[in-house]
Every structure is written in C-alpha cells, then in structure tokens.
Homo-oligomer: A and B are copies of this chain.
Amino acid sequence: MRPKFLSISDAVIEKIKSGELQPGDKIPSENELIRYYEVSNTTARKSLLDIENRGWAKRIKGKGTFVLNRTVDHRLTRTLGSIYATRRGFHESLLAEGFKPHNLVLEKTVMDDGISSEIGGKHFIIEGPVLKIHQLRYADDEIIKDETKYISLTLCPKINRMPTEISYFKVYEDTYHLRIDEVKQTLSTEIVEPDSELNNFELTKSTPMFILDSVVICKDEKIVEMERSFYRGDKYKFAIIASPDYNDVQ
C-alpha cells in the first residue's frame, strides 16, 4: 500500500500543478493537514518535507511553507505589463519564493549630464543629475540578473541615500508621491558566451540572455527611471496578460 504521507503530498502537489495553489501561496500547515486528513503529526510532517524535497515548495522558518515560483522547467516567472506586479521589488519577490536574495553593487554614481535611451523606436531622456546604480542580483549565491538603473535625482532627491534592496517603484510612489502613468519595456534575447565582455554572470557555457529595457513615465511625460537589465534566460520566464484596452469601445 502506498504510504499515507505520499498520497497527501500528491494531493497538495496536484493543487499546485492545477494552479489552485499559486506561487507564493502558503500551503496547508502541519496542523491543517492533521485535521483535514485525520493523520498523526509525524505523517503530516513527512508530507510537508516530501513536497519540499520534490521541489514544489519551501519552508520559511516561523512563517510556513510556500509554493515556489517554478514551473515545470524550473524557471522564475516575472509578470510584465502590470504596474501592480512591478511594485513588488526584486528582493521581496525572491524572498516570497524561498530564495536568499543578495545584491552586489558594482557602481553607484551621480551623473550630472543625464541619460537617454531608445525604447521601441522612441527616444527618452532624463535630464541630469541622474543616479546610476549597477548591481548584480543573486538568488542563493547565483547571479541571475545584471541590472543597471538610472533614476532622476530631480524627481527623487536624495534617493541615493537609500539602501539598494528597496522596491524603487514603491519608493517613487510612497516617498516621492509620483504618479506612475506608464511603464514601457522591450525584451530582446542574445546568446552570451562565457568569455564575453558582457558577462558578469560567471557562466560556464553559452547561455541565452533576456535583455529588458524599460522607462518609467510619470505625470507630464517626465521620466523617473530607465533600466537596462540582463536576465539569465535559463532561469527566467516572462508572463504578460492582455485585457481589453482602455480605448476599446465595447
């Protein structure tokens, strides 16, 4: 006979696979499993461990066990095209997914001259002074993103004094009271070789890389942030949801 704890973990994993439990969701606790399946605490604990060992969830001490944001191909999923999703910072997302995030700042400078960028065939400019932050983003000691942001110091004075783990997006809204009107992004892909100059990633083989360019636009067409980031294509996946457009007459 199949051990009881296995049928329980199978049932929970089925809920993750079907999407009933979503990445970041808390899965039933030991006590909940005991009550619901009428089993001993040993069985309940074994189930939770089994789910974790099979790579579907991760226990965070004192907080519970959470569904990992990994699809069948074990890539992290990030949602584009939603300001709501963008608000959750890099650091916070990884924590919720059971990773240990860590940042290494390679450069943090104030550029007096401003910066320009081309997104989707259009030019965007941030007038100086601009804060440039170039950092490597780690999940569990592995570099998964190489990120360069340019932030308007006119719109966000003294933002250079803040720690780099913050969700900048939230800070724009909450600390600087900026109303974000639009985020424009383009995504391209490229093969990066281990010996390439582009490579801050410590790659050991040719790796597909996502290149995300973005501008964050607030009231009066003012640009508060530009970003150019490299995401490891073997670690990430992007999700986009389209709903009927504002301008659509239904």
Contacts and interface: CB of A to CB of B under 8 A. Distances in A.
Given A84-B247, A190-B233, A184 B241 contact: yes
Given A23-B121, A206-B191, A186 B81 contact: no
A18 B183 CA distance: 18
A139 B157 CA distance: 48
How many copies of this chain?
2
A60 interface: no
B19 A83 contact: no
Nearest to A69: B121
A71 interface: yes
A191 B191 contact: yes
Interface of A: 16-19, 22-23, 69, 71-73, 75, 77, 79-84, 86, 118-123, 179-191, 206-210, 233, 236-248, 250
A240 B186 contact: yes
B82 A238 contact: no
B179 A242 contact: no
Contact of A242 (B17, B119, B185): B185
Given A71-B120, A185-B242, A243-B246, A81 B83 contact: no
Nearest to A206: B191
B17 A72 contact: no
Contacts of A237: 186-188
Nearest to A17: B123
A221 to B, nearest CB: 12
A180 B241 CA distance: 12
Contact of A123 (B18, B80, B180): B18
Contacts of A77: 120-121, 186
Contacts of A23: 121
A34 to B, nearest CB: 27
A244 B180 contact: yes
Contacts of A210: 189
Contact of A191 (B73, B208, B236): B208
A71 B118 contact: yes
